[in-house]
Amino acid sequence: MTIRAATSCDIPQLADLLSLLFAQEADFIPNIERQTCALRLILDHPEAGRIFCAENGEDGSIVGMVSLMFSISTAEGGAAAWLEDMIVLPEQRGRHIGAYLLKTAVNHAKAAGCTRISLLTDEDNQIALRFYQRAGFKDSKMRPLRLTLRD
């Protein structure tokens, strides 16, 4: 297993992973065209974010991914990161791939001078909540709200 920066050649496999992620999340619906567009935007603009993938050493397939988006925190007085998407293929879970992806994202955010990483996960996804809590993430007293600007 290799954790590496994603490239444009990985977009089809990454879009498939995002479809799997969005199929299990309450707020989103998979849309390959939108996911492909977003992945391309991130990869074409590394100042906006980074994508890391877990590559199977046997066949070169992508079995997991994490995307990290950058912002500025006025509260922290510096750069901040948003862990936008993280998914590992169900049949590959339990092999610490998620932990390696998360560690890569955290290390990259630290190296970029980020003061914090925030994320959202479904409130009933106990497996994900425990995973992130074990990695040091804490509950926030802030509540996410969303305004959709397109149909």
In this structure, which amino acid lies at residue 66? Answer: V
Specify the pLDDT at position 146: 86
- The two tokens of residue 114 are 């980020």
With beta carbons less than 8 A apart as the criterion, state whether 72 and 80 touch: yes
pLDDT digit string (tens) for 6-42?
999 999 999 999 999 999 887 888 999 999 999 999 9
- DSSP H or E run through 86: strand 78-88
With beta carbons less than 8 A apart as the criterion, state whether 86 and 3 touch: no
Does residue 57 have a pLDDT over 90?
no
Q: Which domains does the chain have, with CATH numbers?
A: 2-134 (3.40.630.30)
CA distances from 111 to 6, 34, 81, 86, 116 (A): 18, 30, 12, 20, 12
- Distance (Å, rounded) from C-alpha 148 to C-alpha 83? 20
Does residue 151 have a pLDDT over 80?
no
With beta carbons less than 8 A apart as the criterion, state whether 79 and 70 touch: yes
Q: What is the pTM of this model?
A: 0.92
Specify the pLDDT at position 148: 87
